[in-house]
Structure 1
Amino acid sequence: MPAITPQIRKKVLALFDAGRHRNDIARELGISGPTVTRICRAEGRQFDRAAEALELRAEQVDLEKLRERVAKKMLIVADDTLNDLEAPHLVYNFGGRDNTYQEHLLDEAPLDAKLNAMRTASLAFDKATRIVEKSDTGLDQAVGVLDSLAIGFELAAAQIRAEDASDTGPDAS
């Protein structure tokens, strides 16, 4: 991990001011997330964890939708591949010494083509099923809601502590 130079501190603050998230800043600069937090806190800046949690949850929802679209495409590939087995199958050969081309239309796919198609369809179906099984549990949504609530409680508690500290400080009468 690099030493924290004044230039790195300046970059951290500039990225913070540009609205970047703590972990993004840490990754970009090759420093730890807690180091980013300490630098920002020392300059009176604080990350909005609730907003970050909501943005993270939105990103997770987007990824879930993408997984579902990919699963659907995989099932379509599996279905199309299996349907192709029932159609006439063109076999061909080209090249050779005389650089010729020959083709022949078979009533159905040859055995090696059927085996390849079955492997492809089976793999696509298996992967799509695993994607769908993962997303149908609702567990991710429940965890996301609980995480959001926990962050909200944490922020509320921090605010109450700060208010209590300011009420009992040396200037309080």
Structure 2
Amino acid sequence: MPKPKFSKGGTVTDEERAEIIRLHGEGNGRNEIARLTRRSLRTVSLICAGEGLTFDVTMTEEATRHRMANLAERRAILAEALQTDAEKLTEQLWQPHWVFNFGGKDNTYEKRLLDEPPPDAKKNLMASAGIAIEKSLKLVPPRDDDGTEQVGSLLTSLYDKLRDRHGDG
């Protein structure tokens, strides 16, 4: 790896400007030129733009599309996991439930199995399930697939054809 030739900061010399333009001509990207010359990305961009030079962003665009698709997939997986969690929590509303008690003057421990959770536990289960559902819907909002948009488009198209054929009156 070549040693950086310039120090960061200060006025850009004619030699530095020429080096930045030369590195661009060799096909180096903005980040690589900035690293090699120890100049900021903004400085490199401004010098190149002043010379009418541009950088190929094809790879950047493709990498961005790939990252966005990857994030969308991860959000979908997380939303599915949250939906599963919500389902498990709501199932617990009607399952046998252990209650525990610690304390008393003798600092005892007791437990009892109930047919279903007590109201305060049900409230907590419902709140947790609701949060999980809400978060899953924010990660992957439901699509409006009820056909309303297509019906509206069809009616508009029919109206336009009738108006064209028979006039406004």
Matched, 1:112 2:113: no
Matched letter for residue 124 of structure 1: A
In the alignment, residue 79 of structure 1 is paired with which amino acid? E
* C-alpha distance in structure 2 between counterparts of 1:61 and 1:89, whole Å: 42
Distance (whole Å) between structure 1 residues aligned to residue 68 and residue 94 of structure 2: 40
The answer to whether the 8 Å contact 1:21/1:52 transfers is no
Deviations along 1:89-144, whole A, 9 cap, x unmatched?
Answer: 1000124443321001110011011111111111211221232227x58xxxxxxx
Moved more, 52-61 or 119-128: 119-128
Tell me the distance in 2 between the aligned counterparts of 1:72 and 1:21. 40
SS at match of 2:106: coil
1:58 maps to which of 47, 66, 71: 66
Q: Shift in Å at residue 67 of structure 1?
A: 0.4
What is the match of residue 8 of structure 2? 8
In structure 2, list runs of 5 or more residues that go unmatched: 1-5, 10-15, 145-169
Corresponding residue for residue 126 of structure 1: 134
Deviations 1:19-39 (A, max 9, x none): 9875xx89xx9x6x5334236
- Structure 2 CA distance, aligned partners of 1:99 and 1:20? 70
Whether 1:88 aligns to 2:96 is: yes
RMSD (Å) for aligned C-alpha atoms:
3.5
Q: Which has the larger radius of gyration?
A: 2
Size of the aligned set, in residue pairs, is 117
User: Does residue 78 of structure 1 match 2:75?
Assistant: no
- 1:127 & 1:114 partners in 2: Cα distance? 20
Q: Which has the higher helix share?
A: 1
Cα contact 2:30–2:45 (8 A) shared by 1: no
Instruction: Find the residue that maps to 1:8 and give its secondary structure.
Output: coil
Percent of counterpart pairs with the same letter?
A: 32
Q: Which residue of 1 is the match for residue 45 of structure 2? A: 37
Q: TM-score, normalised by structure 2?
A: 0.56
